[in-house]
Structures are given as C-alpha cells and as structure tokens.
C-alpha cells in the first residue's frame, strides 16, 4: 500500500497521475516564452532570489517574463523556506524523469503541481491569483535546485 505523505497545508499523491479528465482539468495555459523554451528556443532568465525585510525568501519574476509568475509563486508559497520540501521534490523529479513513476501530483498552499515526464504544470488554487504555467521538467528541476541552494546560502542572491 502506497504511503501518502501529508504536511501542513498540502496533500501529496505519489505515483501515477490521475486520469485524462483530471489531467486536462489540471493543465495550465503555458506562457508563449515557456513554450518556446520547451521547443528549444531561448533560455529564460532565472528569477531573482532574495530575502525580504522580515527575512522570508522571495523569488521575483524577471522583467518581461510574466509567465514565470506561477513558478515564483510556487517556490515562495509551497516550498517556502523548507530545504526538506525541496529535497523531497527533487527526489520525486528524479524518479519521474527516470520513468520510475508515471507522474506525481501535489496540492500545496497555493498551487496544484502535476509532474509528468513532459513537464511540470502549476495550477493556482485561488481564482484571480497569478497565472499558472507549464515548465519543462529539466527546467523545473533546475529552478527547485537553485531555490534550495539559495535557501542553504550556497548560492549568491540573484
């Protein structure tokens, strides 16, 4: 029997992603620049990571890259300052990329995350919130790893 891990404010479901109907419902409209990157187009600049006046980690959307708002929001609200959450997600990303699991879904504080070998879909839970996005799996992994490095203090503030 698969063990479901629950953390405050999130519901995680490892293993195979749900049926086609649920996956279609969970898909976010991809930003044109994110789509271009998925097709091998120009690389997107990384978000600007810093700590605010209260010391909370923040990920700011690069100028002209509004399509990354969902990714930045996910890092801030769902992973927050938790290195352990980053480690868990990086392990799951590796298993999805390797084909060890068909997919993964997680409902967090502000986003529903759906991972497949093709990419990560971030769907905002609140209506009128920041737009969701789709990101290629390798790019999503890079951003989670960069966020983790920032939290550890091993990466300079970008």
DSSP state of 70: H
CB atoms inside a 10 Å sphere around CB 142: 14
CA torsion sign for 78, 81, 82, 88 is: positive
DSSP string, 12-35: EE-SS---HHHHHHHPPPPPHHHH
So what's the pLDDT on residue 3?
33
Distance CA 154, CA 148 (A): 9
CA distances (Å), 97 to each of 68, 75, 90, 91, 116, in order?
21, 20, 10, 10, 8
State the Cα–Cα distance between residues 68 and 53, nearest whole angstrom.
23
What pLDDT shows up at residue 155? 62
Q: How is residue 15 written in tokens?
A: 């293993």
Structure tokens at 109: 């504080």
pLDDT of residue 68: 83
pLDDT of residue 27: 36
The residue written with tokens 């070998």 in the block is: 117
| The predicted structure's pLDDT at residue 105 | 97
d(CA 87, CA 141): 11
Please give the chain's pLDDT, 158 residues, in tens.
333 333 334 444 444 444 433 333 333 333 334 433 433 445 667 788 999 999 999 999 888 887 788 899 999 999 999 999 999 999 999 999 999 999 999 999 999 999 999 999 999 998 776 788 899 999 999 999 999 999 999 765 55
129 token code pair: 């919130």
Two structure tokens written together for 46: 């990384």
Residue 40 has a pLDDT of 44
């Amino acid at each position: 029997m698969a063990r479901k891990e629950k953390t405050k404010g999130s519901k995680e479901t490892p293993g195979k992603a749900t049926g086609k109907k649920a996956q279609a419902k969970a898909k976010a409209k991809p930003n044109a620049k994110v789509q271009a990157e998925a097709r091998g187009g120009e690389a997107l600049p990384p978000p600007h990571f810093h700590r605010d006046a209260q010391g909370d980690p923040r990920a700011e959307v690069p100028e002209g890259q509004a399509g990354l708002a969902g990714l930045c929001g996910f890092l801030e609200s769902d992973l927050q300052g938790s290195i352990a959450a980053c480690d868990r997600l990086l392990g799951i990303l590796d298993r999805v990329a390797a084909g060890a699991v068909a997919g993964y879904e997680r409902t967090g504080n502000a986003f529903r995350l759906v991972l497949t070998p093709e990419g990560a879909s971030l769907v905002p839970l609140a209506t009128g919130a920041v737009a969701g996005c789709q990101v290629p799996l390798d790019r999503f992994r890079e951003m989670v790893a960069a966020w983790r490095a920032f939290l550890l203090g091993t990466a300079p503030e970008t």
